[in-house]
Amino acid sequence: MVHFLISGDEVIKRRWKAITATWFVCLVLGSFLPLRWKTRLLLKGPLHLPVHFTVFLVSGLLLFASLRPFARQFPRFVALIGLAFAIESLQCLVFHNTFEWRDLFTDTLGVSVALLIAQVLHEIRFNSN
């Protein structure tokens, strides 16, 4: 994926890191928007779980873009699921609602698909000879 694009170019690597950091700041801040804003932005309702899946799929792809082997990606995988768990837990504390296990499951599924995509791309890149 991105490994093919960056090819050692330090400027692009720095930009990629800035994009990734911005994405995660927006993810965390967006998780704590007031309910009426989330409803207007279609983040609640029938698109709620697809949004969770997509956001964590993209998050995983951003983190796994370097196409490292699975053993080096696994800590990132666990960290992303930990982030999803932390966000859900904090939402319970802030908004006084129940823990949304379906959201966490959907987030984990998105991260898992991202890891699978990264591993397939890694295999294509390094075993295509």
pLDDT for 2-27, tens place per residue? 444 445 678 888 888 899 999 999 99
Domain residue spans of the chain: 2-126
Q: What are phi and psi of 68, to 5 degrees?
A: -75, 160
* Residue that is written with structure tokens 């983040």 in the block: 43
CB 74 within 8 A of CB 58: no
> DSSP letter string over 7-32?
TT-HHHHHHHHHHHHHHHHHHHHHHT
127 three-class SS: coil
pLDDT for 97-113, tens place per residue? 899 999 999 999 999 99
Query: pTM, whole model, 2 decimals?
Result: 0.86
